[in-house]
Structure formats: C-alpha cells, structure tokens
Structure 1
Amino acid sequence: MSTPTPDAVAASAWAPPAGRPPLSARMMRALWRGLPAKRHAIGWEPGLVVPAADGSPLITDHYFPRAEGDFPTLLVRSPYGRGLPWSPMYGLLFAEQGFHVVLQSCRGTGGSGGAFDLWRNEAADGRATVSWLRGQPWFNGTLGTVGPSYLGYVQWALALDPPPELKAMVVQVGLHDPYGLFYADGALRLENALAVGVGMTYQHQGMAPFLRATLRLQRRLRAVTTARPLRGAYASALGGEIAWLDDVMSHPDPHDPYWHGASLDRSAERLRVPTALITGWHDALADQTFEQYGRLRRAGCETALLVGPWTHTSALQQGWPEVFAESLAWLRAHLCADPSGLRPTTVRAHVGGENAWRDLDDWPPAEAATPWYPAPGGRLIRQAPTDSAPLTTFRYDPADPTPSLGGPLLSRTAGPRDNSRLEARDDVLTFTGPPLTEPVDVLGPVSARLSVSTDTGHADVFTRLCDVDAQGRSVNVCDGLGRLRTTGDAPSQVTVAMSATAHRFPAGHRIRWQISAGAHPRYARNPGTGRSPVDATTFTPVRMTLHTDSALLLPGGSGLG
C-alpha cells in the first residue's frame, strides 16, 4: 500500500465550511438538460482573498464537492465577474463532478484590486494564485485549468512557465493573440473592438449592467461606426472613454512596440501539459485555436481538437452539452486517471451541409487545394485562365459601405446567414459554379489568390465562400479580408486567408465566391485615401478591377460519388 502524501493527508482532513452556492447559480443549473448526472453535493466559500504578484487582492470563490476524498483542483481566472453564467457553468458543474473549482476575478475586475490590463499581468497573477493554492489544506497538488475566450488567454499565460502541478488545460473558444482579435491584415475589426469594450467594462459588474450596456451599444452602433472621425466616437455608446480601447485603435501595426508580449503563441511551442482545444466554425477566435493546435502538435504535446457548428457565444449556449462533455472527459483523463470518456481520434469536427460529426486523425487533412476561377457572366469554373486580363469592375463608396452579414463575430449577429440581399448590391461580385452532380467536401483552410487593380491605390478586399441551395439561398461558409496596396493601373497580387471549414456541398447545390471591398461595421471602412480609418474625415470612392488570374482555393474539393 502506498503512503499518502502530506498534501493528500491535509486534503482528507480538511473540514468544509457550510456555505451553499448562490441561488441564482442553482436556479440556472436546474434549467440545463443533456448534462452528466450530478455526483456530489456542492459547497461554496465566497470572497477569499488571494494576494496577486504585487500584493493586490484577487477576490476568489471556492466551489467543492461535499464528500470525503482526494479531489483535484481547477483554476478559472476571469475578467467577467464570478456570477452568472460562470458560477453555474464552471463552479457548480465541475465541482459536482468531483473537482475543487477556484473561480477568481482578474485584477481590476469583480472587486479585485489593482488595474485591469488586457495582457500584461496574467502570467504573474496566475503564478501567484498557484503559490496560494499550495498553502490550502484541500489542495492535493493536482491542477487543471479550463475556460473560454479571455479565460483561455489566462491559461496560455500560466503555460508560459507552467507550474509542476499543472497537469491539464482545456481552452474553449480561446484567445492567445490580442492583435489578431482586433485586426486583420492591419484592418480594424471594429465590431469586435466595441463588443470587447462592453464585455471588459461591464460584464464583471453583473448581468444587469452588462445587458444595459449591450443594448445601448446596439441602439447606437450605426452612429458610432459611421462617425467621422471614428476615434473617440464609441464613448457615447460605451459610457465613456476606455484607455486600453483607445490604445488598441491607435496601433494597427502588429510590429508596434505596443503589442510586444501580447501574443502568447509561444506558450504552445514547447508545452508538455495535455491540452484540449474547442472552437466553432463561426467563432471569432477559430483561427487562433487552429494556430495553437498546429503548434501543440509540432511540439509533440498531447492535444485534442473539437470544432462544432458554433459561434463564439453559441458554443457556450446551444453547444454547451458537447463542450462540457469534451472538457470533463479531458480533465478526468489527465487529473483523475480516468480515460474512459476520451474519444479515439485526435480531432472531432462537425461537417456543415452534411450536419454530421466526423472523427479525424489530425487537422487539417492532408489534401491539396483545388483552384476555382472567376469567368465572364459571373461563372466559377475549374479551367485555368490563359492570361491576366481585366474581368470585371465595381465601385466601392466608403460613404455607403458594403454591409457585413453574419460570419465569425463576437455578437449575436454571428454565424451563417442568407446572403441573397447582400449579393444584390452593385458593389458585391459573385461567381457561381454549376449545380453539382455529386457532393463536394471542403475540409481545411480556405484562401483566395486575388489579382486586383484600383484607381486610388488604397482599398480592402473581402472574400467569402458561400453554399447556394436549389432554391437560390446563398449561405456563408467562411471568409476573410485583406488590405490592397496597389500602384497605378498595375494589378496587385494578394492572398487572403479565409479561415477554415469542414463543409459538404450536396449534389444540386452550387459553390459561390463572393468578393467586395469591405464588410462594415465588422471591419472599419477603408477611406480610400491612405489615411488611418480611425482618423479619416474625408472618404474617396474607389473603382476596383478584378483580373482573370484570380482564384478561390478550396482544400480537397473532391466529389464523393
């Protein structure tokens, strides 16, 4: 018989306090369906004070099973408060499955001391919290982390120099690169920036202030996003100026010293902590998840990837049963030595169009890209062009910008949408293939190689893959935006990453390539003058010409018979 460690002896001797979890959390827990059966009654220690790296108090709630035994600990650090929905989703659900859960407010939020910063304190504060855990009588020396969005960023921060107790991570719709959240090829992701501004400013204050702020932004969104100049216009919708948001909007260059140290991509490059990654095809942070998955695989780290038919928010709503089951199985396998819930393959992906899950050995599948070319008459064909002749021209007016519709956003408007009305605009080009005689699978990263000339030298290009059904309904699959830098009439060659997908185009459907010069307010409109979109007060319409040697590159794209 093995001799119990001092930590295990202390944990088994610990007498739990009498507190019950908050009523609001218990009521929300009662509404969920399709989750595993409860294993333990739950206790709650609210308002614990954990000293941060500089001594600032980090307010922390402790959820725990009311049972004798030796239970591992989950650390959940959040800038969004410790109430709904975090209390039931992470405190209650994981504690009743046999984990101590430490739910902590990041500095400057939820009553914690100090000033919140988007990224500069999380590594040190995470390490300080682990030091505090080592002194708790119930801590048995086995630690895991779990959480979504910025709660993923704090996990990557801890993984920069992982403590020896850290045995597993679950990063759900997670962030590791703040620049990538706010910019695409130097173009400001305006709607994301405003959504993050609301979330970071109000969510930790409670659901009522957060909902009021969200509704206020929705009412004033058009006025804010069409203001000239854009700088500072958000204050009326967000309740005042936000210093970090001003800084973000003022630094579009990824090489600016402002962004130094913000990205935690290097955390995955040498990590040995088993890490599960979860995202959705319309998650605003999906590309960041795929990037980290690739780094973990190259580092030889044990990892798993789950990709569902979700947006950033719906993964934690409609997708929560699958997300929770995946997370719980991973944590039990690596913290409790119970691998019974693990799936046999590294990757599980939902295939759109087929509406089915598919197990894969890796991501992306090793398939060559199939090029599709634009042709006269709005056709999309497989035959390569023989030259680089001008094909068609359209005019983009930033005073009447091409609107955004669906796609990977942080807001409730994210996801697949019927693009028919958008495609009826004069500033939107579409190229459509013939009805398919057999299904076509597209699995992996999608991109566009564009040859474009402009009359001003300053423009953006937005490119989107759509699935057109037999009734003519055009639904977005994936997309991306790139910045053009042209000289005179010579065409500019630009490759635009359009994220990734797992999608089956059924027989009878058509593949459509949509091209425009923007998607507003998802991206700040390009003023056409070369001036910063944040400071521009004068707009210049741009005439854009697409050339025949452009191509839509689809991974696989093979018929299935």
Structure 2
Amino acid sequence: MTSRAHDAADAVSRRAWTPPAGKPPLSSRLLRATWRGLPVKRYEVGWEPELTVPGADGSPLVTDHYFPRAEGDFPTLLVRSPYGRGLPWSPMYGVLFAEQGFHVVLQSCRGTGGSGGTFDLWRNEAADGRATVSWLRSQPWFTGTLGTIGPSYLGYVQWALALDPPPELKAMVVQVGLHDPYALFHTNGVLQLENALAVAAGMTYQHRGFVPFVRATLRLRRRLREITTARPLRGAHASALGGEVPWLDDVMAHADAEHPYWHGASLGAAAEGLSVPTGLITGWSDALVDQTFEQYGRLRKAGCETALLVGPWTHTSALQQGWPDVFAESLAWLRAHLCGDRSGLRPTPVRVHVGGDDTWRDLDDWPQSPGATTAWFPVPEGHLIRQAPTDHGPVASFRYDPADPTPSLGGPLLSPAAGPRDNGTLEARADVLTFTGPPLTEPVDVIGPVSARLSISTDTGHADVFTRLCDVDAQGRSVNVCDGVAPVRTTGQAPSEVTVPMSATAHRFAAGHRIRWQISGGAHPRYARNPGTGESRVDAVDFTPVHITVHGDSALTLPHA
C-alpha cells in the first residue's frame, strides 16, 4: 500500500471510531469548575475509563482516555503516573487538555492504581512507555502525533521514553521534573531525609486515592520527629508508612552515586542527543530545580529546541498557585509543536521570576553569558566584605551536636514547608554562623548559579557544612534565597577546602538591604545528621559532637547580570 493510500485508510479508520458517551468523573468536573485564570474551554470532554494496555511484559496497565467531543483529528498526550489517575491528575491533564483539543491518555504505572505487575521505582518505565506507544498505534483516533506532559515522576517517565524516542513523539513538557533519582535522595552523599520520606508516602499511598494519601501524609507529619531522630534511622519509617518500604531502605542506604544500585537510574543521557522540542518548568524552591537546569543545559548543548520557565514556586505550589502560568506555558508549547500554532510562544527561550522585586525577566539563555561573578569574604565579628582578606587564619567556629541538630527551615523541599522563610530564630542559635555585608547603596541583582568555597577545620575529621544565602531587609529580617550542603573530611588541625554548589537564583537585593552568608553543620530533618564518627547516617547509633572552624580563605561567589 502506498503512503497516501495508507493515510487514507487510516483516516477512514479514525472516522469510523464512535466516541463513548461517558463524562469525566464528577470529582474532576467539580474541581475543574473552581479554577480561574485558565483559557476558555474549546470542547466538551468525553471519557473512556479503565482501558487495558499491555505493558512490556504483558502486565495490564490501567488507562483512562479523555477526548474532545468533536469531529476531526486531534493530537494525543501521554501521561503516565504512579500516583493514580484520580485527583488532581484527571482534571489537570485529562479534562483541561481535552477541552483544548487533545486526546489525553492517562495511565497508571505498573504496580500502581490497579495496574498489574510490581512497581520498581525507575526500572520499567522505558519499556512500558514504548509498549504504550505501540498500543496507541492501533487506536482508531490516534493520528500519529504524540506529546508527553507531567510533573515530578511523571517527568521521569517522559525522559525514559526519550531514551529511544518513537517517531510519533513530537513534543515534551517536563514540569518540576525528575531525571536522576540519586540526586533526589542524596546531595553530595548527604541523605535528603525529609524528601525521601515524602516520596515514600506519595509512592505508597497516593495511587490508592485522595483520602488514604491525606491520612498517610498527616501520620507522617505527626511522627516526623520520632522517625528522623531514631537511632538507627534504618527501618524507623515503618510505623508511619504502614510497614516496610524496601526500596526506601535501599535508596537511603546507598549514599554513593557510583554504587551499582544506581546504575541505569539517571536518565540524563536522554537529553544529550534529543531532537524532540522540550519545554521545562520549575520553581526556585522546587526540590528538583537543579535537575531542571541540568536538563536545560544538556538540551541546549544538543541543539534541541527548548524553553525554560522558572517561577516563584515550590514543587507543589507550581501546580497550585502557579498553575495558570504553568498551564498556559505548557499549552502554548504543545500547540506550537503538535498543532503548528506558534502564536503563544515567548520571544526568548528563558523566563525567570526575579525575587526581591517580584518581576519577570526574559533571557536568551541560562545561565547568562559571560557569567560574571563577585566574591564576598567572611571576616571576624560576623562581617562580609568585598576585599579579599590577607589573613587566612580562623574567622569563627561553632559546635555542632548531632544529638541536638541545627534545624532546617524552608528551602527546596517536597513538603509545604518549602520556600523562603524568616531565618531570625534559626540564626539566633549558637551553632549557626552569619556573615553580613553593609547596607547596599544601590540594588544588586544576583542571577545564576551561587557557590561557596569553604576552608574548614574540625576536631573529629567528620562533619557537614550547610551554607545559605540570605537577604536581610532594612528591619533586620533575614530571608533565605538559596543554599547547599556538602560533607567535609579533615585530617588533624589542617583545614580542608570544600566547594559547595548552592543551586541558583534570580534575586534582587534592594538598596538598603544586606547580603548575608549563613553557615552551619546541618539542616535537620531536611538532611540526615552527620553522626561525627564516620559511620553511615542510616546505621549510626552513637553520635559525637564536632567543633567546626571557618578560615579566612573562604568565599561566597555570587553571579550577576
């Protein structure tokens, strides 16, 4: 059969499809009715629930199909989720995008939401994604034009499909998305404890329905201190999560990124040769913001058409308060690359929200060229200066006690506790150092990756260093901007140098404000405590306090426009 004849036969087949009469679930329609600031609905929406799609090994993958109730051909969006197919995914992706003229295939990953097989975190997504596309090819309404969309782990499954993209895949939208599970659970070998527990609650309960998930989340919150202060940490989560979560023990115990356990987990390579146009969306306080920047960098290097939106959001608020912006950005990208309508695209590849003055800025790239930076240096009495000191001796020291750990406050988390916070109470602690610059005579824009070079000595040889950039206003209120953590290993009394990536920011320090550099020995329970003994954080029972000294050849490096 010739290509033209095949297309004609295919069109006849699609016209022969009779849409079912089902409406989307009532709960989805009710939630949809509460949203404001979204585009006007173009089509009524139909629903085919609980279709069975064979996975790579034949496991039945339960799938819902949303579609516009109208004549004509429409592109298809594939959304694969381990969190169920109900709220909020049904209205956010199924209903809203079908209203705008897309078939939406919303599927539960294997072992979740009624799908067969066993959920094994990242190990089956590439094969099951390809199997689902194979099933799509046999559907009478499928035109051969496919896009993918989704947040968090729903972004991971997109990268899995992009490892070997099918020819039908014409666009992707990765929202607050994951590509490297190791980096979600560990930072430079330091366990991200609070995020690990939040992921476990979501993976274990969200696909079971809204009520079980809320109960599990509240139970985890009530028992968070009990779990995170347990000695040892291993297995302490079982009481709050309703039993053992074997994969959680595994990810917590394997702090080394090179361990065979993590082989094949990262899908960063998917972006390196990709030609599928990919839109990226994140927030400054998103726990996965650095992964999004990595994705953008790889796509740009590969010459792939890409766009980046960074808003004033956390991982969850991007899909709540930020949803009108996130939806509009996503819809414009999909219309451009699946429907040929580029009228909604931004003129520049990058748009970032600038904190401090609550504005948006369009940029040609991220980070900006040529990448100019300014160094700030700590000196005694808690001052932060621009002139490099000649004395590289001790500047200040403090005692970190893992039995009374420095608490975490705000920052990039998966929980509602994420984001900017008043650091006043935290900075009043004896185990937190602050170095503060003079009042600024004019605004200072910090735009790009922030880092710290720390010269550290300890009395035990084993410690962490947590470092944070803060904006201090004219009233003395100190608010976190970005931060980072790294382990430190020292020998004897000689200082060791460690460079700590502190993520990135776009922030304006207003005239009259001051730049503050905050340094401590941890941020608990966001990060698991360093026991001070060299023992595993997961298995440690005995703790040893450590004296940490900061030396004068340390520096805070800030990028600027």
Paired residue for 1:494? 498
- Residue 483 of structure 1, CA deviation: 0.7
Matched, 1:440 2:447: no
Paired residue for 1:267? 270
Mapping for residues 380-459 of structure 1, pairs under 5 Å: 380-459=384-463
Paired residue for 1:503? 507
Looking at structure 1, the residues matched to 15 and 348 of structure 2 have their Cα atoms a distance apart, in angstroms, of 36
Q: Please, which of 41, 63, 66 is the counterpart of residue 38 of structure 1? A: 41
List gaps (5 residues or longer) in structure 1.
none
Paired residue for 2:322? 319
1:509 alignment partner AA: H
Looking at structure 1, the residues matched to 122 and 467 of structure 2 have their Cα atoms a distance apart, in angstroms, of 31
Looking at structure 2, the residues matched to 33 and 269 of structure 1 have their Cα atoms a distance apart, in angstroms, of 38
Looking at structure 2, the residues matched to 412 and 156 of structure 1 have their Cα atoms a distance apart, in angstroms, of 26
Paired residue for 2:232? 229
Matched, 1:141 2:144: yes
Matched, 1:295 2:267: no
Paired residue for 1:163? 166
Paired residue for 1:97? 100
Looking at structure 2, the residues matched to 69 and 508 of structure 1 have their Cα atoms a distance apart, in angstroms, of 60
Paired residue for 1:151? 154
- Residue 490 of structure 1, CA deviation: 0.7
Looking at structure 1, the residues matched to 41 and 455 of structure 2 have their Cα atoms a distance apart, in angstroms, of 58
List gaps (5 residues or longer) in structure 2.
none
Paired residue for 2:469? 465
Matched, 1:476 2:480: yes
| Count of residue correspondences | 556
Looking at structure 2, the residues matched to 322 and 313 of structure 1 have their Cα atoms a distance apart, in angstroms, of 14
Looking at structure 2, the residues matched to 451 and 300 of structure 1 have their Cα atoms a distance apart, in angstroms, of 39
Paired residue for 1:359? 362
Paired residue for 1:548? 552
- Residue 10 of structure 1, CA deviation: 2.4
Looking at structure 2, the residues matched to 500 and 530 of structure 1 have their Cα atoms a distance apart, in angstroms, of 30
Paired residue for 1:62? 65
TM-score by length of 1: 0.98
- Residue 195 of structure 1, CA deviation: 0.2
- Residue 388 of structure 1, CA deviation: 1.8
Task: Verify the 8 A CA contact 1:7 1:139 in the aligned structure 2.
Answer: no
Q: Please, which of 148, 154, 177 is the counterpart of residue 174 of structure 1? A: 177
- Residue 274 of structure 1, CA deviation: 0.1
Looking at structure 1, the residues matched to 380 and 55 of structure 2 have their Cα atoms a distance apart, in angstroms, of 63
Looking at structure 1, the residues matched to 464 and 226 of structure 2 have their Cα atoms a distance apart, in angstroms, of 22
Matched, 1:183 2:186: yes
Looking at structure 2, the residues matched to 148 and 309 of structure 1 have their Cα atoms a distance apart, in angstroms, of 16
Looking at structure 1, the residues matched to 12 and 268 of structure 2 have their Cα atoms a distance apart, in angstroms, of 38
Matched, 1:279 2:310: no
1:94-130 per-position Cα deviation (integer Å, ceiling 9, x unaligned): 0000000000000000000000011110000000000
- Residue 526 of structure 1, CA deviation: 0.2
Looking at structure 2, the residues matched to 392 and 378 of structure 1 have their Cα atoms a distance apart, in angstroms, of 8
2:167 alignment partner AA: P
1:148 alignment partner AA: P
Looking at structure 2, the residues matched to 554 and 5 of structure 1 have their Cα atoms a distance apart, in angstroms, of 59
Looking at structure 1, the residues matched to 115 and 464 of structure 2 have their Cα atoms a distance apart, in angstroms, of 42
- Residue 7 of structure 1, CA deviation: 3.2
Looking at structure 2, the residues matched to 89 and 486 of structure 1 have their Cα atoms a distance apart, in angstroms, of 50
Looking at structure 1, the residues matched to 246 and 559 of structure 2 have their Cα atoms a distance apart, in angstroms, of 42
Looking at structure 2, the residues matched to 128 and 387 of structure 1 have their Cα atoms a distance apart, in angstroms, of 64
- Residue 11 of structure 1, CA deviation: 2.3
Q: Please, which of 16, 19, 22 is the counterpart of residue 22 of structure 2? A: 19
Task: Verify the 8 A CA contact 1:7 1:141 in the aligned structure 2.
Answer: no
The secondary structure found in structure 1 opposite 2:421 is: coil
Q: Please, which of 192, 212, 219 is the counterpart of residue 216 of structure 1? A: 219
The secondary structure found in structure 1 opposite 2:343 is: helix
Paired residue for 2:345? 342
- Residue 9 of structure 1, CA deviation: 3.3
- Residue 5 of structure 1, CA deviation: 4.3
Paired residue for 2:87? 84
Looking at structure 2, the residues matched to 328 and 10 of structure 1 have their Cα atoms a distance apart, in angstroms, of 28
Looking at structure 1, the residues matched to 81 and 424 of structure 2 have their Cα atoms a distance apart, in angstroms, of 40
Moved over 3 A (4+): 2-9
Looking at structure 2, the residues matched to 520 and 225 of structure 1 have their Cα atoms a distance apart, in angstroms, of 8
Q: Please, which of 201, 209, 226 is the counterpart of residue 206 of structure 1? A: 209
Looking at structure 2, the residues matched to 31 and 137 of structure 1 have their Cα atoms a distance apart, in angstroms, of 34
